[in-house]
């Protein structure tokens, strides 16, 4: 079990290059199941969830190659099975993303029902509702989703809750359905649009991605293509807060600042100086850090995946900040660990009140999920003394060598085997 050791107090300075977005790469790899041709992907982050998805595709029978240079080639000509086994799905819920493509192209799938995780129950009822509206039968038997169809047809699908992977799964399935499908109350995340770009390069007919209403007109088959994954806006936002919390001066490069408008606006309001470029932005942390409330909502509002990182920043605020988490029911696990570092945080259901003004002290802490791990690193960067973070496998699921990138910016941080 690797650990991350940090000695806090060093302002960060310099330039950091952002990697490809894990949450755009995962659906893109799943989309390769929609054609017998080869898909060439670029800018894939070499993180654990990507390697898990490679294993899943190989298990199904696809040729899947993922290289450390960020390129990947996937060819799902003939499949050995249409099953996503429990052993793989239990390690990565996003395995559910093979469901739509398998039903869309092969008319059947057997996918282990993803369990919940630390941050919430994570139901997939809307994924199944949408497939049923398109003419599939979805049963849950022995912990597996068993889906079957005589052939998908277009449908009007209203998702009562905005769901990112639900939108992605149904958009992929609809590309090969007979007729037009409308996804209403769809997710607008940039990762959805990046997937739509890939599907269009494969020959799909999709419009409205990036808005709440996506229209997909089914085609008979899709073809291979080359596609580039967008930069990871959450990694970029994490480094932005790393600069602000250490009162540093960091240029975050290879990213799309306009995908982070809500985060950069919020950071500006806390007193950080943010200078926007076309493919980069610069964050300079200054005193005081002003306590500002924030509420998480679906894109383009403040993302839930930045909530834990923002809480770390607010522990250094000049007053009290109320953080409201509207997306997941249990996404404050990082708060208890920050309290062990001296933070003053009170949790009441979906709200956390963070009172700043007290320096953090280094401590041994436990990571519970991907973004909580990142928030504990941020707290460690500003805490007095040494912080030791355990269970960093959570971190490795979605951040590529973050400790090396932070060390290059001047942080006193190392991975301990």
Binding status of residue 210 toward ligand EPZ by CB under 6 A: no
Which residues, 6 or more positions from 402, have their beta carbon under 8 angstroms from its beta carbon?
Answer: 235, 238, 374, 377, 395
Half-sphere exposure at residue 18, Cβ-oriented, CA atoms within 13 angstroms: 26
Q: Are 66 and 230 in contact (CB under 8 A)?
A: no
117 is known as an active-site residue: yes
Binding status of residue 122 toward ligand EPZ by CB under 6 A: yes
Nearer to ligand EPZ by C-beta: 102 or 306?
306
Site string for ligand EPZ, 26-55 (x = CB under 6 A): x-----------------------------
Of 6, 12, 11, 4, the closest CA to residue 409 belongs to 12
Binding status of residue 23 toward ligand EPZ by CB under 6 A: yes
**H helices present in 80-216, as ranges:** 86-89, 99-106, 125-133, 164-174, 190-201
Nearer to ligand EPZ by C-beta: 81 or 161?
161
Task: Kindly provide the b/e burial profile for residues 126-159, where b requires at least 16 CB atoms within 10 angstroms of the residue's own CB.
Answer: bbbbbbebbbbebeeeeebbebebeebbbbebeb
- Closest approach of ligand EPZ to the CB of residue 250, in Å: 22
Binding status of residue 123 toward ligand EPZ by CB under 6 A: yes
Binding status of residue 81 toward ligand EPZ by CB under 6 A: no
Binding status of residue 213 toward ligand EPZ by CB under 6 A: no
Binding status of residue 165 toward ligand EPZ by CB under 6 A: yes
Q: How far apart are CA 296 and CA 46, in angstroms?
A: 28
Site string for ligand EPZ, 375-414 (x = CB under 6 A): -----------------------x----------------
Query: Contact region for ligand EPZ (CB under 6 A) — 75-83, 160-168, 205-213, 251-259?
Result: 160-168
- Token representation of residue 240: 């932005």
Nearer to ligand EPZ by C-beta: 305 or 396?
305
Binding status of residue 166 toward ligand EPZ by CB under 6 A: yes
**H helices present in 41-118, as ranges:** 48-60, 86-89, 99-106
Q: Are 9 and 379 in contact (CB under 8 A)?
A: no
- Closest approach of ligand EPZ to the CB of residue 320, in Å: 26
- Token representation of residue 389: 């973070």
Binding status of residue 305 toward ligand EPZ by CB under 6 A: yes
Catalytic residues: 117
Interface residues with ligand EPZ (CB under 6 A) are: 23, 26, 94, 120, 122-127, 161, 163-166, 304-305, 327-328, 370-371, 398
């Amino acid at each position: 079990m690797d650990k991350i050791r940090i000695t806090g107090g060093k302002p960060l300075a310099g330039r950091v290059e952002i990697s490809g977005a894990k949450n755009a790469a995962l659906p893109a790899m799943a989309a390769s199941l929609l054609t017998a041709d080869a898909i060439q992907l670029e800018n894939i982050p070499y993180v654990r969830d990507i390697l898990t998805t490679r294993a899943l595709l190989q298990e199904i029978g696809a040729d899947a190659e993922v290289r450390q240079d960020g390129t990947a080639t996937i060819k799902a000509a003939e499949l050995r099975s249409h099953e996503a086994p429990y052993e793989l799905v239990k390690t990565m819920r996003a395995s559910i993303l093979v469901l739509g493509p398998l039903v869309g192209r092969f008319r059947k799938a057997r996918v282990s029902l993803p369990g919940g995780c630390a941050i919430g129950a994570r139901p997939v009822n809307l994924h199944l509702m949408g497939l049923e509206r398109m003419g599939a039968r979805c049963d849950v038997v022995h912990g597996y989703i068993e889906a079957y169809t005589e052939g998908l047809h277009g449908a009007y699908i209203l998702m009562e809750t905005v769901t990112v992977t639900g939108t992605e799964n149904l958009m992929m399935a609809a590309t090969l359905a007979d007729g037009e499908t409308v996804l209403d109350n769809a997710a607008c995340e940039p990762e959805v649009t990046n997937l739509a770009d890939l599907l269009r390069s494969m020959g799909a007919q999709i419009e409205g991605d990036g808005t709440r209403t996506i229209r997909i007109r089914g085609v008979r088959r899709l073809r291979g293509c080359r596609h580039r994954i967008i930069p990871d806006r959450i990694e970029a936002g994490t480094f932005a807060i790393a600069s602000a919390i250490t009162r540093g001066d960091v240029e975050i490069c290879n990213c799309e600042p306009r995908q982070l408008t809500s985060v950069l606006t919020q950071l500006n309001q806390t007193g950080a100086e943010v200078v926007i470029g076309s493919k980069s932005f610069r964050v300079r942390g200054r005193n005081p850090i002003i306590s500002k409330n924030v509420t998480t909502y679906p894109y383009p509002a403040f993302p839930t995946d930045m909530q834990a990182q923002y809480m770390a920043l607010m522990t250094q605020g000049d007053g009290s900040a109320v953080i409201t988490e509207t997306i997941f029911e249990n996404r404050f696990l990082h708060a208890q660990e920050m309290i062990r570092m001296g933070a003053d945080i009170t949790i009441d259901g979906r709200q956390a009140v963070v009172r700043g003004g007290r320096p953090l002290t280094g401590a041994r802490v436990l990571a519970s999920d991907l973004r909580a791990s990142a928030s504990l690193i941020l707290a460690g960067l500003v805490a007095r003394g040494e912080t030791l973070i355990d269970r960093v496998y959570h971190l490795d699921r979605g951040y590529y060598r973050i400790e090396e990138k932070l060390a290059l910016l001047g942080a006193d941080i190392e991975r301990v085997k």
